[in-house]
Structure 1
Amino acid sequence: VGLGNVGRRIAELCKGLLGMKVLAYDPYLSATEMAARGGEKVELDDLLRASDYVSINCPLARDTRGMIGAREFALMQPHAYYITTARGFIHDEAALFDVLRDKRIAGAGLDVWDKEPPQPDHPLLQFDNVLASPHTAGVTREARANMGRIAAEQMLGALDGKRPPRLINPEVWPAYAKRFERAFGFTPG
């Protein structure tokens, strides 16, 4: 779920290393774009019904907050695993607790939480079929250097009048473009 930079890399690993068929849901990409990134475009419900592993890799936004709840977990197969390295609040922790408790899915890999880090007595940590980490998978020297470089490139690009390629809130671009034009005399592209 989500075939951006992280989702694309996961698709590459799953297809290339593990020989998996990758179904993908990303409402912002065409089927052609998704195929180029290693996934077969499907609707979210179809992905949940058919997948052995559901990996969440999308940003937290208005349309993804609460995207995976009791209804969506109920669509998953009993042998399926739910994995998220995205952001807290995309899935409903209470609904995930219920499906794990009732053994309606096989397990979960959780790197993100509604409140980070989770307390040691967090209900989801009681299960032996939950693998948990404190959302630090990307904390490497290389990752931090790349994050700084990418942020600087985007800032410089925006100041040069270029639309940033990793714009988190694209709905603000038109207002920014108007302010930019007033300040610098040309419309950013």
Structure 2
Amino acid sequence: MTPLRIGHVGPPPHPSFAATVAQDPLLERVEIPLDAPLEAQLEALASCDAYYCMAARDELPPPLHVHDALLARLPRLLMAASYGAGYDALDPAACTRAAVVLVNQAGGNARGVAEHAVAMMLACLKRIPESHARMRAGTARDRTDQMGRELSGRTVGLVGCGHIGTLVSAMLRAAFGCRILACDPALDAAALAARGAGKVVLEELLERSDVVSLHCPLAPDTRGMLGAAEFARMRPGAVFVTTARGSIHDEAALLAALDSGHLAGAGLDVWQLEPPPPDHPLLHHPKVVASQHIAGVTQESRSNITRIAALAFSDLAAGRLPPRIVNPDALPAFEARWRARLSR
């Protein structure tokens, strides 16, 4: 059988991808230089059966995002796989129209992201960003004026309780005895109870939580989900944390809620533009702890997500449906194309 050709632009996120691909004789890897001319990149991708695509939209030139225009140039393509759990640079509807399956790596970096979210909760409640800023400015005087709060026993609201939210719930309950509320339309009350969370609607979650942490994907129904009205509904003195995706929350509205004193702090790993400009006011706010979308950028997470991505390509090459298909509506048309390739 002809090997399945996998194209990726630039090096993969971890050497584990190349090592895993090399173990399968049915796979062939095509690395396309990130700085190559666009037409050369498109020509190389057109020779591939699969595209291993960067997940962070601002790291990849828009013409290489998986959308209708690109897919029209890639008639051979059967599968597009995101580098991570998110797929901001890949359009599921466009993939479905092209009879291309879209696969993500959901769960592969869950522990790294969950740890980061909990770390941000602790940093905000303990007022570590504020103390750091005062010490750097030479204005640190009265320690009592920097008095923080403990995470133990608090109510934490999780917006989304999938792979990452489930781990956050487990960590917070085991280590801190927290009460967990969750808003997730994909899970009923029994499923959330099994994950240690009480099911509530978003409005109730905002009103009852000491900490609100986002763990949902960026999708049409979540874009702009948290704005001025939602931040105003949160408890005075609450903390907001997001390791999900930028554009789910309104950055200007969050800044206003922090400036007014209504919110006590924010932990931000994701941004509308990544990285944010250096003069972004949230980066310089004393109540904000910020990071550059690195929650899942750990040695362990990167090794895992690249390995499971390579194994998904192996499934496709061997005639098996890969796991974690984002657009199952594509399957009927995709399977006809897939069988045609397997018969060659």
Give the TM-score of the pair, scaled to structure 1.
Answer: 0.88
- In structure 2, the partner of 1:175 is 330
Please state if 1:162 is matched with 2:321: yes
- In structure 2, the partner of 1:80 is 238
- Aligned AA for 2:321? K
The 5-angstrom pairing of residues 25-174 of structure 1 reads 25-157=183-315, 160-162=319-321, 164=323, 166-168=324-326, 172-174=327-329
Report the 3-state secondary structure (helix = DSSP H, G, I; strand = E; otherwise coil) of the residue aligned with 1:78.
coil
Q: Hey, what's the Cα distance between the residues in 1 that align with 2:311 and 2:217?
A: 20
Percent identical among aligned pairs is: 50
Structure number with greater Rg is: 2
- Aligned AA for 1:40? G
Which region of structure 1 is more displaced relative to structure 2, 151-160 or 108-117?
151-160
Q: Hey, what's the Cα distance between the residues in 1 that align with 2:335 and 2:220?
A: 26
- The structure richer in strand per residue is 2
- In structure 1, the partner of 2:53 is none
Report the 3-state secondary structure (helix = DSSP H, G, I; strand = E; otherwise coil) of the residue aligned with 1:23.
strand
Q: Answer yes or no: is the 8 Å Cα contact 2:313–2:322 preserved in 1.
A: no
- Aligned AA for 1:112? V
Q: Hey, what's the Cα distance between the residues in 2 that align with 1:66 and 1:56?
A: 12
- Aligned AA for 1:175? A
Equivalent in 5, 12, 17 of residue 170 of structure 2: 12
Residues 54-100 of structure 1, C-alpha deviations (whole Å, 9 max, x = no match): 00011111111111111111110111100000110010001101111
Give the TM-score of the pair, scaled to structure 2.
Answer: 0.50
The 3 A distance-change label for structure 1 pair 46 and 163 is: farther
The 3 A distance-change label for structure 1 pair 5 and 178 is: same
1:40 positional shift: 1.0
1:105 positional shift: 1.1
Report the 3-state secondary structure (helix = DSSP H, G, I; strand = E; otherwise coil) of the residue aligned with 2:171.
helix
Q: Hey, what's the Cα distance between the residues in 2 that align with 1:150 and 1:47?
A: 34
1:116 positional shift: 1.0
Report the 3-state secondary structure (helix = DSSP H, G, I; strand = E; otherwise coil) of the residue aligned with 1:109.
strand
The 3 A distance-change label for structure 1 pair 36 and 156 is: farther
The 3 A distance-change label for structure 1 pair 137 and 71 is: same
- Aligned AA for 1:93? E
Report the 3-state secondary structure (helix = DSSP H, G, I; strand = E; otherwise coil) of the residue aligned with 2:266.
strand
Q: Hey, what's the Cα distance between the residues in 1 that align with 2:331 and 2:163?
A: 25
Instruction: Tell me the number of residue pairs that the alignment of Structure 1 and Structure 2 aligns.
Output: 181
Report the 3-state secondary structure (helix = DSSP H, G, I; strand = E; otherwise coil) of the residue aligned with 1:16.
helix
Q: Hey, what's the Cα distance between the residues in 2 that align with 1:167 and 1:28?
A: 16
1:174 positional shift: 2.1
- Aligned AA for 2:200? V
Which region of structure 1 is more displaced relative to structure 2, 128-137 or 45-54?
128-137
The answer for unaligned runs of 5 or more in structure 1 is: none
Q: Hey, what's the Cα distance between the residues in 2 that align with 1:163 and 1:143?
A: 20
Which region of structure 1 is more displaced relative to structure 2, 116-125 or 86-95?
116-125
The 3 A distance-change label for structure 1 pair 162 and 31 is: farther
